[in-house]
Structure 1
Amino acid sequence: MSPKKIPMSAVDRAWLRMDTPENPMMICGVLTLDQPISINRLKRTLEERFLYFERFRQRVVDQGDRAYWQDDPLFHLDNHLHQIALPGKADKAELQKLASDLNSTSLDFRRPLWQMHYIDNYEGGSALVVRIHHCIADGISLVRVMLSLTDKTPEPRLKRVATKPRSSHKAASTLQRTLHRLVDSTHAATDQARLFLHSMREEPSYPLKLASSAGGVAMDLLKLGLAPFEPKTDLKSPLSGRKQVSWGEPLDLEEVKACAKALGGTVNDALLYATTGALQRHFAANREPIPECGIRVAVPFNLRPLNQPIETLGNQFGMVLVTLPVEVQDPIMCFRQVQENMNRLKRSYQAQVTYSLLDLFGRGPDILERRALELLSRKASAVLTNVPGPKDALYLAGSKLTQPMFWVPQSGSIGIGISILSYAGTVQFGITVDKAIHANPEEVMSHFRESFQALSHLALAGRSGARARKASQAR
């Protein structure tokens, strides 16, 4: 008997079908560690915590108009975990070269869609390069899954698990699952009706607010469709499918917080300004005219509660188009414009709209999705992720995690991915660029730090000046 097939959700299927030779739909991570680790201990950790999620033992069965998850009858961890060594000096340049090559190489669709490469000789320590297909889960979920492999101390207690992980799908018959879905749907409908009646009693104007929300969703859908295409810059070129990966030295998170506080903004506002300033410097260094109306980046917006543990994977996020005002040269004015753009997006329904569109595309024909994807990808120059990470340093199989980096894939004709991740009091910056795009990833990474430092200097100088004026007036 062949293993049972589980239908893939429409949204996950949409990400599956976005996979192209130019843009493989992989989330790629690089974890650097302060010392080598035992490969056997790493395997035990993966068996205990990673393979707990059944998706990592399942392959995709694509049957044209439908896709399924199915247990891989020949699954073996050694097909997915590889131990290798870096050539030459085994330094950052060699690791970036390896990550670039792996980030350009598609996964094997005959097996579960993930791979790990353990490098045992990186700068006196070691590193782990991870690739996972986007159809398994969204970036925020997978970052949390990868961090769940770590511990707060070097010596945790590991428990060996059974050969097969727990699976609610196998514990219930088809009839039981159907009944559960009917009961859940009935309860959900009853709860919604009760909530609506309660809202009517407490607030008579609730139906008008509901209608206003529906109007807001419709308006944001219209705005998304009518948004102009991105201006022609060297950031938009036909893609080669070969990636260049780079990451910079981290920023001090307390410095970022101090800068944001001095300007009356958020850490996210300060980091988005740093991105804007880095692209400004890129255009200036390449003597390219700066677009007069800015450029847009596609930013994933999480729709999954962060305070809930991840019991199941899958994609639960929408995308918002954020305008970066690269045409505004004054750092403070540019920061204010970034802040205003973000506040406007927070009041919109754009993330919910794009999630619903992904659900719709996943249910429709392949040609519809590709046409829509091509249209939407022409409205952004890059994908940018900003993920909050753990506040304290973590350990993987006994070795301290010194620098984690993750990149989400770029869809359609987008060839740049920018990653921001906070970790242990630092902010990590990384970038992946298609080789056909005329942008040096190392130089762009240096621009991030320069951009933030310029803003921080003005912000803190302004705060010191304000304090001096207040002290003078008091006297």
Structure 2
Amino acid sequence: MGRESSNEWEDEPLTPAGRLFAQPEMRQIIHCVVGTKNPFDIDSVKSELRKSAMLQHPRFTSLLVRDHRGREHWRPTQVDIERHVLIIDRPLSDADHDSAVNSYLADLSTEGLSMEKPLWELHILMAHNCAIFRIHHSLGDGISLMSMLLACCRKLHDPHSVPTIASSSSSSSSSSSSSRSRNTTWPNILWNLAVTFWFCLVFALEFILRCLCVRDRKTPLSGGAGVELWPRKIATASFSLQDMKTVKTAVPTATINDVLFAVISSGISRYLDFRAPNGVQEGIQLTGLAMVNLRKQPGLQELSNLMKSNSGARWGNKFGMLLLPVYYHRSNNSDPLAYLKRAKAMIDRKKQSLEAHFSYKVGDLVMSTLGPKFASWLNYRILCNTTFTISNVVGPQEDIMMVENPVTYLRANNSALPHALILNMVSYAGRADMQVQVAKDIIPDPEFLAKCFEDALLEMKEQVTAKI
């Protein structure tokens, strides 16, 4: 942004994705949850905020306004920290800390942000040693915002260094590169191109049909139009990353994401066995909508790279969608590792199809030609026609601290959607926490569903270790 001759900052138009998330049907708030070992020093928190990288970014110091044509812009303004930091001194309930914080998050999931100030807030739950960053999705996606959050943290054992950010695909990229080196003959190249073209065609058609008319059959997990307004509940499923790494060794070249989706597939089947033992058809499809980072450098990015205009990383919203089907199988008749084999085969085909890139390009084209209202309608339709949402953000591998306070956990979730089930996972220091957000009138027992996911991973681990 530059200055006008009157020394006032110019308004900056929103990006196409930012305009999409400014529409009423797609308005989304991202909640970054930080648990700490000790209570917060409020004065220190406010002092760090004032000098943080966050308040050097123009989107965090601007109002979202509309001009006379209804087009959205960022308008720079002065930030009053006192209006953005909300202190909750009293205990939220007599429940344990996790349950109390999750209940508070569930209430926030149906609330918006005031448009009279920049679109972020920090809620500090003093009695629970927890801070919740509420950030409008038009400011950026989960990768951008987690990178911004970690830029405000330091390594626990090296207070002068920012956290190390690992790529989510460093290991898989090396294996894929070695695979490519073995398949560089012309017949293999032509075959791979033909397979990629076929998958692109099939999955592009499937994506378009999902936007327009094809929808999942109704199950005890189904949402639909208007469900985003229903009351919510949240539970946390916790996993050991070492357990996930052990499980992925059962299938050659499998990744943590393959294991995660296998756990979700198995956990959903377990839950449906309990909730509808005779009411769900064997093999019925439940489709997940996965958000995929499309930056050239996968995983989280250093904030300095995101802020460079010529960087392949780039700040903002840079993600596509994948349609990931889950098939119900009675858990007492299934091999636990069969879920991993099916998940890997399906995700490998999806990667080869370029479906995530296709969905991003289609969304960008629709926004540019038909406007945000039609793009919002299409996105809302695909949400109504699928069953659940899933996202996975890789966090720092080492212990970190915020305002000299050791961080005990990192979690994330977002505003309610037409889905009755939303799954958001963040890994941190050897642990992965998945927030299980549900419409409580459809899925009244998210704690049991979270346990189904945890038990699914443990059963897969036992199966692997028994074979060693």
Return the TM-score normalized by structure 2. 0.80
Match of 1:229 among 182, 196, 215: 215
Checking the alignment, whether the CA contact within 8 Å between 1:143 and 1:406 is kept in structure 2 is: no
Checking the alignment, whether the CA contact within 8 Å between 1:325 and 1:338 is kept in structure 2 is: no
Match of 1:403 among 399, 405, 409: 409
CA distance in 1, matches of 2:355, 2:284: 20
Checking the alignment, whether the CA contact within 8 Å between 1:154 and 1:395 is kept in structure 2 is: no
**2:252 corresponds to 1:257:** no
- How far 1:44 moved relative to its partner? 2.4
Checking the alignment, whether the CA contact within 8 Å between 2:19 and 2:372 is kept in structure 1 is: no
CA distance in 2, matches of 1:153, 1:461: 37
- How far 1:430 moved relative to its partner? 1.2
Of stretches 96-105 and 340-349 in structure 1, the one that deviates more from structure 2 is: 96-105
Q: How does 1:276-291 map to 2 (within 5 A)?
A: 276-287=265-276, 288-290=279-281
- How far 1:328 moved relative to its partner? 6.4
CA distance in 1, matches of 2:413, 2:196: 33
- Residue 410 to residue 101, structure 1, CA distance change in 2 (3 Å): closer
- Residue 255 to residue 220, structure 1, CA distance change in 2 (3 Å): closer
Checking the alignment, whether the CA contact within 8 Å between 2:420 and 2:443 is kept in structure 1 is: no
Alignment match, 2:13: 7
CA distance in 2, matches of 1:410, 1:344: 30
Checking the alignment, whether the CA contact within 8 Å between 1:295 and 1:323 is kept in structure 2 is: yes
CA distance in 2, matches of 1:439, 1:310: 40
What is the number of equivalent residue pairs in this alignment?
409
Q: How does 1:180-329 map to 2 (within 5 A)?
A: 217=200, 219-227=202-210, 228-238=214-224, 239=227, 240-248=229-237, 250-264=238-252, 265-287=254-276, 288-290=279-281, 292-304=283-295, 305-306=297-298, 309-311=305-307, 313-327=315-329, 329=331
- Residue 212 to residue 262, structure 1, CA distance change in 2 (3 Å): closer
Of stretches 444-453 and 365-374 in structure 1, the one that deviates more from structure 2 is: 365-374
CA distance in 2, matches of 1:460, 1:208: 37
Checking the alignment, whether the CA contact within 8 Å between 1:61 and 1:68 is kept in structure 2 is: yes
Checking the alignment, whether the CA contact within 8 Å between 1:260 and 1:267 is kept in structure 2 is: yes
Partner SS, residue 275 of structure 1: helix
Per-residue deviation, residues 411-468 of structure 1 (Å, max 9, x unmatched): 4x22321012211011212111123323422111111111111111112212x2xxxx
Checking the alignment, whether the CA contact within 8 Å between 2:196 and 2:353 is kept in structure 1 is: no
Q: How does 1:66-465 map to 2 (within 5 A)?
A: 66-73=71-78, 75-85=79-89, 86-89=91-94, 91-122=97-128, 126-153=129-156, 156=159, 217=200, 219-227=202-210, 228-238=214-224, 239=227, 240-248=229-237, 250-264=238-252, 265-287=254-276, 288-290=279-281, 292-304=283-295, 305-306=297-298, 309-311=305-307, 313-327=315-329, 329=331, 330=334, 331-363=336-368, 364-409=370-415, 411=417, 413-462=418-467, 464=468
Partner SS, residue 442 of structure 2: coil
- Residue 433 to residue 348, structure 1, CA distance change in 2 (3 Å): same
Identity across matched positions, percent: 20
- How far 1:113 moved relative to its partner? 1.0
Q: Which one-letter code corresponds to 1:289 in the other structure?
A: V
- How far 1:219 moved relative to its partner? 4.9
Checking the alignment, whether the CA contact within 8 Å between 2:247 and 2:259 is kept in structure 1 is: yes
- How far 1:357 moved relative to its partner? 2.4
Alignment match, 1:472: none
Per-residue deviation, residues 47-103 of structure 1 (Å, max 9, x unmatched): 222212221111111245521111124x21111111112234373222221111122
Q: Which has the larger radius of gyration?
A: 1
Checking the alignment, whether the CA contact within 8 Å between 1:154 and 1:398 is kept in structure 2 is: no
Partner SS, residue 336 of structure 1: helix
Where in structure 1 do 4 or more consecutive aligned residues deviate above 6 Å?
205-216
Partner SS, residue 118 of structure 1: strand
Q: 5+ residue gaps in structure 1? A: 159-202, 465-475
Alignment match, 1:185: none
- Residue 358 to residue 65, structure 1, CA distance change in 2 (3 Å): farther
Alignment match, 1:164: none
CA RMSD of aligned residues (A): 2.8
Of stretches 138-147 and 314-323 in structure 1, the one that deviates more from structure 2 is: 138-147
- How far 1:135 moved relative to its partner? 0.8
CA distance in 1, matches of 2:349, 2:415: 26
- Residue 457 to residue 155, structure 1, CA distance change in 2 (3 Å): closer
- How far 1:156 moved relative to its partner? 4.1
Match of 2:29 among 26, 46, 63: 26
- How far 1:151 moved relative to its partner? 0.6
CA distance in 1, matches of 2:342, 2:190: 34
Per-residue deviation, residues 349-378 of structure 1 (Å, max 9, x unmatched): 211111122213333234422431233123
- How far 1:318 moved relative to its partner? 0.5
Of stretches 86-95 and 446-455 in structure 1, the one that deviates more from structure 2 is: 86-95
